[in-house]
Amino acid sequence: MTLVRFGPEGQEKPGLIDAQGQIRDLSAHMNDIAPDQLSDDNLARIAALDADSLPQVSADVRLAAPVTGVSKIIAIGFNYIDHAAEMAVEVPEEPLIFMKAVSALSNPFDPVVSPRGATKLDYEAELVVVIGKRAQYVDVRDALDHVAGYSVGNDVSERAFQRERAGQFVKGKSADSFAPFGPWLVTRASVDDIQNLSVWSEINGEMRQQGNTSQMVFGVADIVSYLSQFMTLMPGDLIYTGTPEGVGDGFTPPRYLKVGDTIRIGIDGLGELRQQVVPGP
């Protein structure tokens, strides 16, 4: 099942995409796609509805981030072997964890805002995991039971803030608009093999990243289990799971984003993001 949130800003409604690719209005059956709506039982209830009986929505409607009420954003660094190599770092022995500020969240087609003083703005195509059930000290074999579904994310980064301003990665990862995700939430049951999806990015029409989730150092189940040993994962939490090679910082010389650049990021079966870089305040 593929879920969306649609409508004008501040007036979004929940919807699903039917077998013909049309958006159907779910607002008679749920208020919004929020953390308390992400349980397996509730998603099964929605999946059992007759999609053809739901009101059809115009194809050109605005799509928002597919989940609201996110309480935290966790990200995994250097989680693709080839990306670790292009960044000249050792492959981590354990998942490298950092956080992104919740205020960085943005919608799938909103612009990326270049923050004040930015000189090394970069993109990262990533699979986003959406937690559906509270997870604390979860075993790897049970970890996916705690996942509601998956989405597409761009872990926007400012490399100078990240590496040259002291402290942790969070400085370079948390500016407003640095965590776009969407456009869909594809439920766990609708993805045959989460560790075999193509991940790509395109800048100004040029393909930059072409990877596959099979190349992850730590797979989704390992990541969810690992994180749950250190913090309780709550419904609606997002996990950005790492990026394949081809980021701007990995080129010689680096190819950072500029104001006016267009970004497209996609994952097989999960849709794609589109952003334009605009000047900040």
- Order of strands across the sheet that contains 198-203: 112-114, 271-279, 262-267, 198-203, 206-212
Q: What is the pLDDT of residue 178?
A: 98
Interval 181-188 mean pLDDT? 98
pTM for this one? Answer: 0.97
- Buried b / exposed e along 148-161 (16+ C-beta atoms within 10 A): bbbbbbbbbbbbbb
Rounded Cα–Cα distance for residues 55 and 52 (Å) = 8
Q: What is the pLDDT of residue 87?
A: 78
Predicted confidence (pLDDT) at residue 88 exceeds the cutoff of 80: no
Question: Residue 85 — very low, low, confident or very high, per pLDDT cuts 50/70/90?
Answer: confident
Rounded Cα–Cα distance for residues 79 and 133 (Å) = 24
Residue 280, both tokens: 């900040």
Rounded Cα–Cα distance for residues 9 and 1 (Å) = 24
Does 37 or 88 have the greater pLDDT score?
A: 37
* Residue 255: C-alpha distances to residues 126, 252, 276, 278 (Å): 19, 8, 16, 17
Predicted confidence (pLDDT) at residue 84 exceeds the cutoff of 80: no
Q: What is the pLDDT of residues 208-251, one digit of tens each?
A: 999 999 999 999 999 999 999 999 999 999 999 999 999 999 99
Please, are residues 112 and 152 in contact by the beta-carbon 8 Å criterion?
no
Q: What is the pLDDT of residue 82?
A: 82
Please, are residues 215 and 221 in contact by the beta-carbon 8 Å criterion?
no
Q: What is the pLDDT of residue 90?
A: 85
Predicted confidence (pLDDT) at residue 67 exceeds the cutoff of 90: yes
Predicted confidence (pLDDT) at residue 48 exceeds the cutoff of 90: yes
Q: What is the pLDDT of residue 106?
A: 98
